[in-house]
């Protein structure tokens, strides 16, 4: 009679008593000490996290949540005969993507939500 290889002992290690430390990723906290880079509509000067160079970001507008929201609102108020497509042509309704002109990597994003 051969035993199966199920030698899993059921005294598995207990879960850690404390939560793993919070991994706050890229959160723009308001810290007066650090110069927090806020990405808005205009190009900003920042340090590219990818290539490490000090660059002025190049911005491009991208259809975002607000664009669709504006589209929905426009359609809701009765302008659904093509007018709801206007938000897609208005940069003010779009998200702004900041990319590094040096390495073309996206360094930040301005989400209007």
Count CB neighbours of 103 within 10 A. Answer: 13
Rounded to the nearest angstrom, the gap between the alpha carbon of residue 4 and the centroid of all alpha carbons in its chain is 49
97 binds Zn ion (CB under 5 A): no
Minimum distance from CB of 107 to Zn ion (Å)? 7
Q: Tell me how far apart the alpha carbons of residues 64 and 74 are, in angstroms, rounded to a whole number.
A: 15
- The window from 1-9, 10-18, 48-56, 66-74 that contacts Zn ion (CB under 5 A) reads 48-56
86 binds Zn ion (CB under 5 A): no
Nearer to Zn ion, 49 or 92 (CB): 49
Nearer to Zn ion, 90 or 106 (CB): 106
102 binds Zn ion (CB under 5 A): yes
58 binds Zn ion (CB under 5 A): no
Q: Which of 111, 18, 7 is nearest to 63 (CA)?
A: 111
Where do we find the tokens 């035993």? 3
């Amino acid at each position: 009679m051969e035993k199966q290889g199920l030698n899993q002992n059921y005294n598995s290690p207990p879960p850690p008593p404390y939560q793993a430390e919070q991994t706050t990723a890229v959160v723009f906290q308001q810290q007066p000490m650090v110069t927090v880079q806020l990405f808005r509509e205009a190009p900003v000067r920042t340090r590219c996290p990818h290539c490490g160079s000090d660059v002025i970001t190049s911005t491009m507008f991208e259809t975002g949540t607000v664009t669709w929201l504006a589209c929905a609102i426009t359609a809701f108020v009765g302008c659904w005969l093509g007018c709801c497509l206007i938000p897609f042509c208005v940069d003010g309704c779009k998200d702004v993507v900041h990319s590094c002109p040096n390495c073309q990597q996206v360094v930040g994003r301005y989400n209007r939500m």
